[in-house]
Structure 1
Amino acid sequence: MIDPVTLRIFGYRALFAAVVMVLAFGRMLPLDMTATNLPGPDLITALAMAWVLRRPAYVPAGLILIVFLICDMLFQQPPGLWTMLVLLATEFLRARQALSRELPFPLEWGLVALLTFAMISGHQMMLGLFAVDRPALKLALVQGVFTLVAYPVVVFMSRWAMGLRKATPGEADALGSRL
């Protein structure tokens, strides 16, 4: 038999991958036939950050690497650059798991905002360094703002629709080790 805790962890990992693929598919669909000048939010990055802040065991670094590399290929971006930046940001958050568990939501949102704009800056610098065509800085910043506006919605949907909540400070896993 499969241990219930292990089953839950792998279930949430599969759910994360499925949600990311649905969001990626939705992003590729030509749903809006009018030309807009504003980019939409990066819901996939917001989802990854929200899940790492809530339950880091549910989104390991390997899963983030695979999912974002696939997204880089699907969206025809330079392969691995945004993946590397998201992986660095999520590992930064994972390393501060004990601190972030006790943060109120506005401070968590501020931390995600800092990381989002650091990733956008790093992305723009790396693309410029290698003379690769890059989106306008204004559009990248607008996308970052829209991602931050969508972040509370992503957290709300993760909590209430998918049952993903933050681990409490004294909570232990099935083996008795503290989370």
Structure 2
Amino acid sequence: MVDPVTARIWTYRAAFLGLCMALAFFRLLPLDTTAGGMPGPDVMLALTFAWVLRRPAFVPPALIVGVFLMADFIFQRPPGLWALLVLLGAEFLRARQGLSRELPFPLEWAMAGVLMVVLMVANMALLALFMVPRPPLGVAMLQMGMTLVTYPLVVAASHMLFGLRKAAPGEVDALGHRL
């Protein structure tokens, strides 16, 4: 029989994968057929950063790469570039997870927001460097702004629907391992 800690980790990993697949599906639906509308937020990015800052064990690097590589193929972006940038950003946050545990939410939001903007600028710069067609800068900035506004909603939904919260300093799991 599987121990409860492992079952919980894999349940959350499956939930993250399912949420990302559902987000990709709904983004593909032709709900807004008018041209020139407001770009939607990158909820997958906000979800990834929120979950990595709360419980890094639930979102391993291989899962992040797999989800965002799948999204690159589905949304016809250059394969691997956005996946690599998101992985680097998530690992940056994972390395600072102990520090961010004690940060109030506005500072966490600012840290995630600055990282999102850095990733967007790096993505645009790399696309320009390799002369790959890229979205207009204004559209990319609007999308990132929408993602920044959506981040608190994603954090609140993750807490209310999945019970995902930051580990308290010194908190241990059922096996006595520090979180």
TM category, shorter: over 0.9
* Matched length: 179
The amino acid across from 1:139 in the alignment is: V
Q: How does 1:27-176 map to 2 (within 5 A)?
A: 27-176=27-176
SS in 2 for 1:41: coil
The amino acid across from 2:25 in the alignment is: F
Following the alignment from structure 1 to structure 2, what is the Cα–Cα distance between the partners of residues 37 and 28? 15
Cα distance per residue 1:135-158 (max 9 Å; x no partner): 111111111100000001100100
TM-score, length basis structure 2? 0.98
Percent of paired sites with the same residue:
59
Give the CA deviation at 1:178.
1.3
Following the alignment from structure 1 to structure 2, what is the Cα–Cα distance between the partners of residues 26 and 121? 26
- Which segments of structure 1 move beyond 3 Å, counting only runs of 4 or more? none
Following the alignment from structure 2 to structure 1, what is the Cα–Cα distance between the partners of residues 152 and 48? 13
| TM-align CA RMSD | 0.8
Aligned partner of 1:12 in structure 2 is 12
Following the alignment from structure 2 to structure 1, what is the Cα–Cα distance between the partners of residues 145 and 89? 17
**Structure 1: gaps spanning 5 or more residues:** none
TM-score, length basis structure 1? 0.98
Cα distance per residue 1:70-94 (max 9 Å; x no partner): 0100000000000011000000000
**Structure 2: gaps spanning 5 or more residues:** none
Following the alignment from structure 2 to structure 1, what is the Cα–Cα distance between the partners of residues 94 and 136? 31
SS in 2 for 1:161: helix
Cα distance per residue 1:114-162 (max 9 Å; x no partner): 1000000000000000000001111111111000000011001000011
